Amino acid sequence: MIIDLSHTIKTKMSIYPGTPPPEIVDLGLRDKYGVNVQQLTLTGHVGTHIDTPAHIYDDADTTSTMDISNFFGPGQILDCSEYKTSKIIDIKVLEQLDHENLPEFILLNTGWDDTWGSDKYSKSFPTPSEELISALAKTDIKGVGIDTFSIDSIDAHHFPNHKKILGSDKIIVENLKNLQHLIKKRFLFSCLPLKISRGDGSPVRAVGLIDA
């Protein structure tokens, strides 16, 4: 079974405050050439997307230099839904981890994705504590994902959580959805990016593959 963990990219969608919305234009080639072709104008961090270390650090790994294995592997959901109103996700959620079979991707399910498309989505979304992120940065996982705009709060202009994760050569996956369907399940997580030269990030079609 494959669980779709990605939001649809469209012209009117939730975007991080201060970033341009995507533009999708039909080039009108049907009558002349018999094909439909769209022109896409969008940032590398629109919708469900990954951040590579190059998002924060110069001369760091990008979507084209990271080995493709960095975007695929066993995942585990940490249920953080109790922090949907308290906002700061405590380190105690790590008690849910299977330390004998540590996953390669740890995905934080807050349930905030149910506000996608509304003004609320960009306001006061839950974020992991710096203590939690510091602990995850010290592990051998490949990446951390979350079903909100960012692993840093909207007011954290120095991006401390980004710096810790990306500085440990991991990736970040943001704006995930449907993570609740993978709680307490074994699954493979895939978030393959576009192979963009010097790409600091990329939209992805993130999925969870359950061995049913």
Q: Is the pLDDT of residue 99 over 90?
A: no
By the 10 Å C-beta count (0-12 exposed, 13-18 middle, 19+ buried), 164 is classed as buried
Per-residue pLDDT of 85-97, as tens digits, reads 888 999 999 999 9
Q: What are the domain boundaries of the chain?
A: 2-7+44-210
pLDDT of res. 212: 58
DSSP letter at 120 equals G
Q: Are strands 49-51 and 201-203 parallel, antiparallel or unpaired?
A: antiparallel
pLDDT for res 120: 93
**pTM metric for this prediction:** 0.96
d(CA 67, CA 104): 14
Mind listing the pLDDT tens digit for each residue in 74-84?
999 999 999 98
Distance CA 44, CA 50 (A): 8
Q: What would the pLDDT profile of 191-200 be if each residue is shown by its tens digit?
A: 999 999 999 9
pLDDT confidence band for 211 (50 / 70 / 90): confident
Compute the mean pLDDT over every residue in the chain, rounded to the nearest whole number: 95
Q: What is 2-7+44-210's CATH topology?
A: Glucose Oxidase; domain 1 (3.50.30)
- Give the chain's length: 212
Q: Are 17 and 153 in contact (CB under 8 A)?
A: no
Phi, psi of 21 (to 5 degrees): -75, 155
Say if residue 157's pLDDT is above 90: no
